[in-house]
Structure 1
Amino acid sequence: MTTSVAAAPPDARTPNRLHPRRAALAATAGTAVEYYEFGVYGYLAVIIGPRFFPSDNPTASLLSTLAVFGSAFLMRPLGGIVLGRLGDRIGRKPVLITTVVGMGSATAIVGLLPTAASIGIFAPLALLIVRLAQGFFAGGEVTGSATYLSESAPAGRRGFFGAFTPVGVAIGGGAAALVAGLTSTLLTEDQLREFGWRIPFVLALPLIAVTLLARRKLEDSHAFVAESGNPAKAPLREAITEHTGALVRVIFLSIGSNTGYWVGLVFMNIYLTTYLGYSKSNTFWIMGAINLFVAVLMPIFGALSDRVGRKRVIAIGFLGYAILVLPTMIAMDQGSFALAVGAMVVLALPMPIVQSVTYPTYAEQFPTRVRYTGLSLSFNIGTIVGGGLTPYLATYLIDRAGSLLTPGFLLIIAVVLALIALVSVRDSSKGKAQ
């Protein structure tokens, strides 16, 4: 296999009929549905665990629930390969409609599943099957969104418009936390355990409708249309053999950015409630507010990357994670919820920097003809490690090592790997390979 050659940057010419703002709205909506589901599952893992994995050991139930959570990530590369190939051959729009319907439907089904008390061993099996289906469709969603926005943005503004993919990530995670917070506030603990946990999952149905309205009038990007007369016959093979370097770089950048998100927000919910004993409902509200705060900042840093370059901004964000994670985790463990909230806000500061700029950077590493496939394969492999494994591994290591700081060290390791990969990343913020 050969190393990746400098790929042509996304075609910046955008016809009037393809409005970048409409593309940004559609991308944000679909990504929000994806991360709403993953967020709800992560935030409610402590409650879901005993329903599907009854055990006298709460940690065992939680680990089983997080293992199923991680299983969805294992399907993402397969989904990315299949859906990415379709996206590179038949167009971005039909695949982006398919992904949101598939993800949202699987999310709602989780809320309708019978528990172990009703059907025994078939309950966790059914949960696993639905989560695998959800992961398959998710494998083509956020990468399709990033691909579409990179090809729809005006010249010199790919960072700004590309940031709306992770804006959807933050809004979806924030909505998940707020819905979980509202549900846990309005219901008693018994009601939450018996039926209340189902409500956030079923609420994915109206989110599907909203996203379909946002995407139904989209047209494929000019960059894709220009390539459609000569599509890649085997996008996966071409991406692997001709753009190997790009694949490797995006994998390691994705490991760093996903670990920052899943450790910095989703696992921190478990850390604050299960290990530090803070109120579940209060923690949900704080997580929701932080997600929305992060979403507001993302377009600002995306626009900044258009001016000063992607690599410089990404490096600042990753270094922020490495410097802040251990001090903030120590501050959270001082018995003061107010101090814990302040520490969470500080720990979240690198997130909009990293998330907003890495997504357009991922897309800029591949040429149009294999962009959807290459990005889906590499990003989703990184997501398995950074997103699927880290909540489980962090919980397991805390239980085995007895140190609550273990997740912080995992994040530092992931950041170091990402920074090493960043050195060789091609920065196309100025519209040409650099």
Structure 2
Amino acid sequence: MSETPSESGADPKGTRVLETDHRTTRKAVTAAAIGNATEWFDFGVYSYLATTIGLVFYPSQSGGVQLIATFTTFAAAFLVRPLGGMFFGPLGDRVGRKRVLAFTMLLMAVSTFAIGLIPSAETIGVAAPILLLVARMSQGFSTGGEYGGATTFIAEYSPDKRRGFLASWLEFGTISGYVAGASIVTLMTMALGDQAMLEWGWRVPFLLALPLGAIGLYLRVKLEDTPIFEGSTEGFAKDSAGGRRKGQLRETFVGQWRAMVLCMGLILVFNVNNYMVTAYLPTYLETELGYGASTGLVVTLGGMVFILATVALVGHLSDRVGRRPVLFSGSLLSIVLSLPAFWLMQQGNLWAVAFGVVVLAITLVHFSGAGPGALPAFFPTKVRYGALAVSFNVSVALFGGTTPLVSESLIQATGNLYAPAWLLMAAGVVGVLVVWRMRESAGRPLPGAPAIPVPSPRRSGESGPRVRNSNVRRLPSDS
């Protein structure tokens, strides 16, 4: 029998195709997106409460030092993420995507909940920032297995021709979680005032992460693993004796290093733009430009709502025109529009500030819409979770999570309010180079999708299982 798959996704004559139904695919997308929503709920809360967290945990420092300390704690969680990626990623390639994603969901929710329980520095002294750091590092470790696994999970459930659209809903979950967290902080700040938020109100959003995580955990536990992984388990997850497959880490790091470098470059430009908008802009507008806390929060939230409304459309566009044109456009806009965007925000007019934020959001949505569908296609199935988790988290740790810290440090060192734009422009240059070297993956099967023999169609008058198009590779039937 031939093992050549149909690259177009069309079913060759005499073949049958395995796939889950649309209802199961929707459940898979929802379960993965809920997990990302929980992760980014915390980021939205932490970013919008950066000034308050500085006062609670670093009260003896000056305002600028408080922000640096707060963002250093924020960045510390990202430094642990590669360890989480190296632990959870290869584990997901061995025991399955579903089991690992359920555990990371649980650990993330509990860690976020724990932040809301930590006493202030005035109560327990230096132990308070230490406990905050421990909780953040626990979050970082769990998140190390979250995004790479969730992206892999959706990609392996999605038909080839709709992978961009369906994978973009992962970012919809991301932004939804961020918007929910940021909205709760904004509404509570407006309703309670700064003093009440400082005394106790800041704890409430962190405590809400536990019920949100419970919902995500329930959805993930109820699902089966991806069709591609299930079809490949006997082929690569275990050896012929049923034991742990040897050489997996070597195959991931040595065999895939070129793809990992390109993947890290794409993640760099994606996440520098992402964390600039989501994690740093509220603080930039408040502390550097002098806007009220509520004003900065609402304006940035408007940019997030814009991304929420357009991200699935961009994902669909990437299925039609390709991932590379969309990602190249985003990289080019990062180079061209960053300085004008920060110039607009410095004009002292609220409408100009809002327009500048939307300009950055337009750039970001190119990556949010096309990135999740492009990243899993860098790697074959047998090492996809591990290679993507490591690539994603190393790049995010070095360039994404440090974006607020580097931006604020550059401003403190140079006194130039355009310093964050320089960072975005440099990331855009990296993005252009990566897109130039990467292969187009839209409409094509994922690399290494397993060849699975499928029974011949039944004769007239006989019933058979209902089967649809999939990214699982096909073998011609014996008939």
TM-score interval, normalised by the smaller of the two chains: over 0.9
Partner residue of 1:267 out of 280, 292, 301: 280
Code of the residue aligned with 1:298 in structure 2: it is: V
Most deviating of 227-236 and 172-181 = 227-236
In structure 1, what is the Cα distance between the partners aligned to 2:52 and 2:338?
A: 26
- Does the aligned pair in 1 maintain the 2:264–2:395 contact within 8 Å? yes
- Determine if the alignment matches structure 1 residue 224 to structure 2 residue 237: no
1:419 is paired with a residue whose SS is: helix
- Determine if the alignment matches structure 1 residue 237 to structure 2 residue 250: yes
1:15 is paired with a residue whose SS is: coil
Partner residue of 1:177 out of 179, 182, 198: 182
TM-score of the superposed pair, with normalisation by structure 2? 0.86
In structure 1, what is the Cα distance between the partners aligned to 2:156 and 2:445?
A: 14
Partner in structure 2 of residue 276 of structure 1: 289
Code of the residue aligned with 1:326 in structure 2: it is: L
Partner in structure 2 of residue 102 of structure 1: 107
Partner in structure 1 of residue 472 of structure 2: none
Code of the residue aligned with 1:371 in structure 2: it is: R
Partner in structure 2 of residue 4 of structure 1: none
Partner in structure 2 of residue 121 of structure 1: 126
In structure 2, what is the Cα distance between the partners aligned to 1:352 and 1:109?
A: 32
Q: CA deviation at 1:287?
A: 2.5
In structure 2, what is the Cα distance between the partners aligned to 1:138 and 1:395?
A: 24
Most deviating of 318-327 and 362-371 = 318-327
- Determine if the alignment matches structure 1 residue 91 to structure 2 residue 104: no
Partner in structure 1 of residue 417 of structure 2: 404
In structure 2, what is the Cα distance between the partners aligned to 1:262 and 1:278?
A: 20
- Does the aligned pair in 2 maintain the 1:290–1:345 contact within 8 Å? yes
- Does the aligned pair in 2 maintain the 1:181–1:282 contact within 8 Å? no
In structure 1, what is the Cα distance between the partners aligned to 2:381 and 2:312?
A: 24
In structure 2, what is the Cα distance between the partners aligned to 1:379 and 1:77?
A: 8
Map of 1:275-294 to 2, 5 A cutoff?
Answer: 275-294=288-307
In structure 2, what is the Cα distance between the partners aligned to 1:180 and 1:432?
A: 42
- Does the aligned pair in 2 maintain the 1:394–1:407 contact within 8 Å? yes
In structure 2, what is the Cα distance between the partners aligned to 1:425 and 1:262?
A: 24
Code of the residue aligned with 1:142 in structure 2: it is: Y
- Percent identity reads 36
Partner in structure 1 of residue 324 of structure 2: 311
- Does the aligned pair in 2 maintain the 1:183–1:196 contact within 8 Å? yes
- Determine if the alignment matches structure 1 residue 31 to structure 2 residue 32: no
Partner deviation per Cα, 1:276-325 (whole Å, 9 max, x = no partner): 11121232233333223212211111111111111111111121122111
- Does the aligned pair in 2 maintain the 1:235–1:373 contact within 8 Å? no
Partner in structure 2 of residue 428 of structure 1: 441
Partner residue of 1:383 out of 377, 380, 396: 396
In structure 2, what is the Cα distance between the partners aligned to 1:254 and 1:387?
A: 8
- Determine if the alignment matches structure 1 residue 341 to structure 2 residue 354: yes
Map of 1:103-182 to 2, 5 A cutoff?
Answer: 103-182=108-187
Partner residue of 2:204 out of 184, 199, 202: 199
Partner in structure 1 of residue 344 of structure 2: 331
In structure 1, what is the Cα distance between the partners aligned to 2:20 and 2:204?
A: 42
Q: RMSD of the alignment, in Å?
A: 1.9
Partner in structure 2 of residue 357 of structure 1: 370
Q: CA deviation at 1:13?
A: 4.7
- Does the aligned pair in 2 maintain the 1:256–1:417 contact within 8 Å? yes
- Does the aligned pair in 1 maintain the 2:306–2:361 contact within 8 Å? no
Q: CA deviation at 1:155?
A: 2.6
- Does the aligned pair in 2 maintain the 1:28–1:165 contact within 8 Å? yes
Q: CA deviation at 1:428?
A: 1.4
Aligned residues: 427
Code of the residue aligned with 1:89 in structure 2: it is: R
Partner deviation per Cα, 1:77-111 (whole Å, 9 max, x = no partner): 11111111211111111111111111111111111
Any stretches of 5+ residues in structure 2 without a counterpart? 1-5, 10-16, 238-244, 448-479
Code of the residue aligned with 1:342 in structure 2: it is: F
Change (3 A) 1:55 1:425: same
- Does the aligned pair in 1 maintain the 2:259–2:378 contact within 8 Å? yes
Most deviating of 392-401 and 353-362 = 353-362
Partner deviation per Cα, 1:20-55 (whole Å, 9 max, x = no partner): 211111111110111111221122111101211123
Change (3 A) 1:213 1:56: closer
Partner deviation per Cα, 1:367-391 (whole Å, 9 max, x = no partner): 1111000000001111012322110
Max radius of gyration: which structure? 2
Greater helix share, 1 or 2? 1
In structure 1, what is the Cα distance between the partners aligned to 2:111 and 2:422?
A: 33
In structure 2, what is the Cα distance between the partners aligned to 1:219 and 1:93?
A: 7
1:112 is paired with a residue whose SS is: coil
Partner in structure 1 of residue 315 of structure 2: 302
Q: CA deviation at 1:432?
A: 4.7
Q: CA deviation at 1:417?
A: 1.2
1:346 is paired with a residue whose SS is: helix
Code of the residue aligned with 1:381 in structure 2: it is: V
In structure 1, what is the Cα distance between the partners aligned to 2:248 and 2:353?
A: 47
Change (3 A) 1:97 1:65: same
- Does the aligned pair in 2 maintain the 1:426–1:433 contact within 8 Å? no
Q: CA deviation at 1:394?
A: 0.7
In structure 2, what is the Cα distance between the partners aligned to 1:406 and 1:233?
A: 47
- Does the aligned pair in 1 maintain the 2:47–2:278 contact within 8 Å? no
